[in-house]
Amino acid sequence: MTMRVEPIIGRYGHMEIEGRTHRVYWEEAGEGVPLVCLHTAGADGRQYRAVLNDPEVTAHHRVIVFDMPRHGKSSPAPGTVDDAYALTSDAYAAQILAVCDALELDRPVVMGCSIGGRIVLHLAHRHPERFRALIGLQSSDHVAPYYDTAWLHRPDVHGGEVCGAVAYGLMAPQSPEAERDETRWHYMQGGPGVFRGDLWFYKVDGDISGQVAEIDVAKCPIHLLTGSYDYSCTPDDTRDLARRLGVEMTEMEGMGHFPMSENPERFLDYLRPVLRTIREG
């Protein structure tokens, strides 16, 4: 019997984030220009399994995917498991900078999806000199609340079931069923209150609509790609953001809110040219 082994390496690193020591899990593959990938709210780094496994990407990039604290294999910092969790822009940016510093990354490319697509705008606003380029997937400057997120974390509703059901609907019906199942499973495994806590950043604290005009894309290029089926961040939301930033946006046909995870092969067709442009830039 033979076994196919993926080229991905997973490790734990101990690092300080906002004054606390965290044990952070990350996966990586490849060599070259660092490419840090940020998962969506309530999920983990498994969403980027195809990017980490793509020979064309890893031939040119050191792809790094970390699980945010409280997500995937990165447990809450010691003594904080019962703390109320609401992700802020400051905390999220601090996590990304801590990982980049700990791994001694020189002007990495950062690609984020959903909340990750929002925080790259904050990075562009606060620290443009630290990044070679930023890629926003499902990226908008704000989102108006459209359902009561309290349903995602209450004792009489199974958090894994309801979070998985929300994630299910954010995907395109055309995406392969096996990949959609994998994607919603990540949500079904999330810790209590984590998805909801992340959405505090997405819907409240991370609203950057008032600062978009202050982002200088000449200091750090921004690339925006959004799936046509996403109703949380619609193509029109990204189009509006792109117009105000003065950059192009690409609408990814037949994909939803989790392009890299729900339809990985198709997503790579969109990503590879963007990475080529960044490398040649």
Partner 1 sequence: MFAGLAETGGPGTPLALRGRALDARMMLRAGAGGSGSETLVTIRAGAVILVEDGPLVMPSWDFAISAAEEDWALFLRAVPPPGSHDLMALLKRGAMRFEGNLHPLMSNLLYFKLLLASLRPQPETAPEATA
Instruction: List interacting residues with partner 1 (CB under 8 A).
Output: 146-147, 151, 156-158, 161-162, 164-166, 168-170, 172-174, 228-232, 234
Minimal distance in Å, beta carbon 173 to partner 1? 5
Q: d(Cα 87, Cα 198) in Å, to the nearest integer?
A: 5
Contact 51, 37 (CB under 8 A): yes
For partner 1, the closer of residues 174 and 211 by Cβ is: 174
Asked if residue 97 lies in contact with residue 70, where contact means CB atoms within 8 angstroms, the answer is no
CB of 263 to partner 1, least distance (A): 14
Closest separation between CB of residue 195 and partner 1, Å?
13
How near is the Cβ of 162 to partner 1 at its closest, in Å?
5
Integer Cα distance of 281 and 279 in angstroms: 6
Least distance in Å: CB of 138 to partner 1? 13
**Pairwise CA distance, residues 223 & 133, whole Å:** 8
Q: Which is nearer to partner 1, 7 or 169 (CB)?
A: 169
Closer of 74 and 232 to partner 1 (Cβ): 232
Task: Give the contacts of 114 (CB within 8 A, at least 6 positions apart).
Answer: 40, 41, 137, 138, 202, 232, 233, 257, 258
Cβ-based nearer residue to partner 1, 120 or 170: 170
Nearer to partner 1, 47 or 175 (CB): 175
CB of 265 to partner 1, least distance (A): 20
Among residues 61 and 153, whose Cβ is nearest to partner 1?
A: 153
CA–CA gap between residue 240 and residue 213 (Å, rounded)? 12
* Residue 161 CB-density burial (10 A; 0-12 exposed, 13-18 middle, 19+ buried): exposed
